Chains A and B, each alone.
Chain A
């Protein structure tokens, strides 16, 4: 059943609030390597969770993450010197949502594989447009970002975004929108004939997802100090988010979370040991995981958990 809050949900809310409070204390213990690692993890958790909000239920694999992330970062470079920080963040979220709205209206009628390609093309297109604009109008491709924000503050904002992304996902699941999404995921024809405006639901969700990812881009922008299109619209970000979310399992809200942490740690380890073969090795790990754990880590954990309870009960 979907409406009354269940005991496990209450436990999940209490546990995640406690975990968040604990994690927020990290910068007090270390502000070097571990904080940097935590920032990387938190940014990817927020992005992968936001990605799965849309791609999990609709099965549309979006490679537009870099487009949202980069646009969020560019909003900071354009506004941060003149507008107060909260205004910058709201602007970034709006830009992300509008970008998703435009893309969604144009493409969500496309089916599966066309959408993947289009979403990838979108990120590249915007990167080219920004490059063109900067060379033609401002005369230089890069921009410095002068925002005085400490690493700890960035980390805390990212934790906040993780919490917002998870809470949004939870709220959607409990709403009519979430119910509509499950129907669409099962059978779009039935959904439409039952009265669900499938295009609107998908566009709405893409906007929410895009706004959240743009916010991550905005919060991360000061880390770059100097941004140029190649950095802000890095297609690797899109691919990594997909890999992490699928590794964790995109059908559960907490799936991306458990995908990001091992991936980032593995990435660090491989990058340290085999700097010349990082992507090759990560790709192989990903293939092995998809082959042996197709439901993602979260699906595997859930099955294991059920087996343990089944045996002890």
Chain B
């Protein structure tokens, strides 16, 4: 299967002083796959995404995008290589309109699209995430889910080879959650490759082809959602040892 691996993480580690936040993690993400990255709070999921997106430099190990070595590159180089992300705490650009927010992804991403063409891409994506007609709205005046939609559209505007989502579905109410899951499902259907950190079990079950489970920085399990979610060690990690 390694021939179709788009993203390969090998022996990746990150130490914060004495704390090993990410410990020798290895896994592949294949083309067109949605891989869930799950684990209890503080298990190192965001840190792992930060290592892939270049926000942090790894202490050890490597990240490759189709054989291209990305380890240690600054985030702007990694973004231009084709990896886009959303942030656990949503980050919109407050002084830019919704449309301009999304244009940022197209303008500075791998294709470096500028002007009317970038605006057209952004308009289509706003429509796609359910914000059609809101082009000139300012993000501050928008609801939390709409801000998350903007962030997703901005990441998609780069037409990334791999999309990293950090708890994109967190904080949504049940109705919004259904819309959100359908949206990610539609990205799956168009063949996007996604690595998503998620706590919402329904979303993991319905969206992910495969899951990587982390606990205290280490990889605990890997497999289909049914497999890993019935794994005793995984249940123990989530609920505490008594329940195992």
Binding site for B on A (CB under 8 A): 1-3, 176, 179-180, 182-183, 185-187, 189-198
Q: Are A195 and B115 in contact (CB under 8 A)?
A: no
Taking the complex as formed, is B100 at the interface, i.e. its CB lies under 8 A from any CB of chain A?
Answer: yes
Taking the complex as formed, is B199 at the interface, i.e. its CB lies under 8 A from any CB of chain A?
Answer: no
Q: Which of A3, A182, A195 contacts B76 (CB 8 A)?
A: A195
Which 6 residue pairs across A and B have the least CB separation, nearest first?
A195-B108, A195-B79, A186-B93, A192-B75, A195-B80, A194-B108
CA A1 to CA B103, docked complex, whole Å: 11
Shortest A57–chain B CB gap in Å is: 10
Q: Are B105 and A194 in contact (CB under 8 A)?
A: yes
Taking the complex as formed, is B203 at the interface, i.e. its CB lies under 8 A from any CB of chain A?
Answer: no
Residues on B with C-beta less than 8 A from A185 are 95
Q: Are B158 and A195 in contact (CB under 8 A)?
A: yes
CA A183 to CA B97, docked complex, whole Å: 11
Q: Are A186 and B94 in contact (CB under 8 A)?
A: yes
Residues on B with C-beta less than 8 A from A1 are 119
- Contact digits for B37-63, partner A, Cβ 8 Å, 1 yes 0 no: 000000000000000011100000000
CA A2 to CA B107, docked complex, whole Å: 13
Taking the complex as formed, is B65 at the interface, i.e. its CB lies under 8 A from any CB of chain A?
Answer: no
Q: Are B109 and A195 in contact (CB under 8 A)?
A: yes
CA A183 to CA B109, docked complex, whole Å: 13
CA A176 to CA B75, docked complex, whole Å: 19
Instruction: List 7 A–B pairs whose Cβ atoms lie within 8 Å, in order of A's numbering.
Output: A1-B119, A182-B95, A191-B104, A193-B75, A193-B76, A194-B105, A195-B79
Q: Are A194 and B154 in contact (CB under 8 A)?
A: yes
Q: Which of B74, B85, B91, B108 contacts A180 (CB 8 A)?
A: B108
* A196-B76, A197-B76 as given contacts; A183 in contact with B93, CB under 8 Å: yes
CA A117 to CA B94, docked complex, whole Å: 29
Residues on B with C-beta less than 8 A from A2 are 100
Q: Are B104 and A183 in contact (CB under 8 A)?
A: yes
* A3-B116, A194-B105 as given contacts; A186 in contact with B95, CB under 8 Å: yes
Q: Are A194 and B104 in contact (CB under 8 A)?
A: yes
